[in-house]
A = this chain, B = another copy of it.
Amino acid sequence: MSNTIGELFKLTIFGDSHGTAIGGIIDGCMPGLKIDRKKIALDLHRRQGGDDFFSTARAEKDSFEFLSGILNNKTTGGPIGFIIPNCDKKSEDYDDLNSIFRPSHADFTYFAKYGTSESAGKLHASARIFAPLVLAGAIAKQILVKSNISITAFVKQIGTISLNKVYTEIDTNTIEESPVRCPDKETTKKMIAYLEKVKKSGDSSGGIVTCVIKGCPPGLGDPVFGKLQASLAQAMLSINAVKGFEYGSGFSSAVMTGSEHNDLFIIRQNRLRTATNNSGGIQGGISNGEDIYFNVAFKPAPSIRKKQKTIDRNANTIEFSSAGRHDVCYVPRAVPIVEAMSALVLTDSFFKYKAYAEKL
């Protein structure tokens, strides 16, 4: 297990879907930071989803409690321990799952790795453990915003329906208005229609999230192995169900020539800028001051109502169908997770950047 991310701004998380609470410890936050609890609650709520037809119905909102590191709503500089109660846990749901390895879930691999503790996969591999991460990311965002760094993610694709705009053309204010977090009314409609069809057939849908980081100064990232894009990739591929990451021109760069792809330098408003941004705001592993943007691909949720044939632990072929609640498409709910992960990576990079920023 490896439940810590970051080197200077460090988050360690814990949690099982069956425990009384999940939570984490943020180590390395500077002292004196005023904490806006509403923004934390908002991001937690965004991750929960639950209001819409395509998501799991849930009884109540995640609450959270700080156990240390915050006094009078300000960070003390000490480790911030926090918990998020598991109000809605239904451990009995898992009992009948113990005899089968659900297809494309972590059940088999956790069993293979952790042996006798056969339930670990169902417990710790749950998407619910990203709630502590979203909480920590919400604090990281509050650090970054003081340096005018903002992070915004949205849904760019659901199944076969794709937003046909680049990120510079969208109105970010419309993201949260869309039930699928897609900042375009027409595309939102099509996505919903698509999801209704998928839902009807007892199936699930994948998708793509785009994330944009604005205001990042030049200088973040540590070559060779701490390149900013490498840290972002590691963070994104740590999110359950993520299958791919690309930044800037991404996979489409493969078909381009150098003369098409090169971002030529220009002077704009007395500052060195690039005329295009195929580099996605990162060159040589270090931020160059342009917008950082990247795409994250999510596979469709493996839990579906549709029946599928698989094998139980006794090697018998069985027909299997996921009971209980599950999302038709969790991609909209992944938006705040992608943002939180980005915020953690950026904050850690920022702290490292500062360690070398001025001469001793």
Contact with B along A141-178 (1 / 0, CB 8 A): 00110110000000001111000000000000000000
Specify the main secondary structure of chain A where it touches its partner: mixed
Contact with B along A226-256 (1 / 0, CB 8 A): 1101111111111010111111111101111
Q: Is A125 positioned at the interface, with any CB of B under 8 Å from its CB? A: yes
B residues near A244, Cβ cutoff 8 Å: 244-247, 250-251, 253
Q: Is A65 positioned at the interface, with any CB of B under 8 Å from its CB? A: yes
A274 to chain B, nearest CB (A): 8
Q: Is A48 positioned at the interface, with any CB of B under 8 Å from its CB? A: no
B residues near A22, Cβ cutoff 8 Å: 67-68, 81
Q: Is A41 positioned at the interface, with any CB of B under 8 Å from its CB? A: no
Copies in the complex: 4
Which residue in B16, B230, B311 is a CB contact (below 8 Å) of A78?
B16
Query: Does A109 lie within 8 Å of B2, measured CB to CB?
Result: no
Q: Is A291 positioned at the interface, with any CB of B under 8 Å from its CB? A: no
How large, as a class, is the contact surface on chain A?
35 or more
Which residue in B123, B146, B284 is a CB contact (below 8 Å) of A125?
B284
B residues near A68, Cβ cutoff 8 Å: 14-16, 19, 22, 123-124
What are 19 A-B pairs with beta-carbon distances under 8 A? A1-B79, A1-B222, A1-B224, A2-B225, A3-B225, A31-B116, A69-B124, A76-B114, A77-B120, A78-B124, A79-B124, A103-B262, A112-B286, A124-B223, A206-B256, A233-B234, A244-B253, A253-B299, A258-B303
